[in-house]
Homo-oligomer: A and B are copies of this chain.
Amino acid sequence: MARNKHPEETVNLILDVAFRQFMEKGYEQTSIQGIINELGGLSKGAIYHHFKSKEDILIAVTEKIMAESNRMLAGIRDRTDLNGIEKLKMIFKKSISRPVQNDIFTVAPDFHKNPKLLFSLLHDTIEEAAPNYILPVIEQGISDGSIKTDYPKQLAELILLAANIWMNPMIFASSEEDSFRKFMVFQQMLQGFGLYVIDDEMLQRLQELTSIYQKSR
């Protein structure tokens, strides 16, 4: 095969095919050879030129999803028609209603075998998403009087750690009942901080997502 003159297109093609296979078969059942077979004649050498391992592909796929999530968060953060607590509520609502979320719940990698992804998710949550998207919203809430806390940075981190890591069925496999109970404790935690942002509609949506994940196991 001729040398590819557009490496970014090759990378995107690899990620699209890999993501679809992760969704359809699950991460563990996907092989690099299986991805190559769908890449229309791309050689094994060409894929290894961009990614050292299947885990590296999973990390790149996850980073692409995170980038989309971060664009959504930036959009809400930058709105001018909502106060702080309304934005926080909107963020939870949108986070659990994005269509792509349905797909994520079917990948289900085994973190025993993919420790790098866990680091990547934890790092993105605490070092990127919390300070860049949640903190400014909490700070706005402090200014407009809709949120009260003396520790906005730490509150942003703790909320996202619970939401993105502990309640993430990709990381901790949970029964439907367990997921529901985690959410109830999460809601109680938020209320303890004076944040009344979870409503019945969001609760119902979360239960739907949990069912999708359970079916794919």
List A residues at the B interface (Cβ < 8 Å). 111-112, 115-116, 118-119, 122-123, 126, 149-151, 153-155, 157-158, 161-162, 165-166, 172, 178, 181-182, 184-186, 188-189, 191-193
Contacts and interface: CB of A to CB of B under 8 A. Distances in A.
10 contacts: A115-B118, A115-B119, A118-B118, A126-B166, A150-B184, A151-B184, A158-B162, A161-B165, A189-B193, A191-B192
Contacts of A191: 192
Contacts of A158: 162, 166, 182, 185-186, 189
A185 B155 contact: yes
Report, nearest first, the 7 A-B pairs whose CB atoms are least far apart. Answer: A192-B192, A115-B115, A115-B119, A154-B185, A151-B181, A115-B116, A154-B181
Contacts of A149: 185
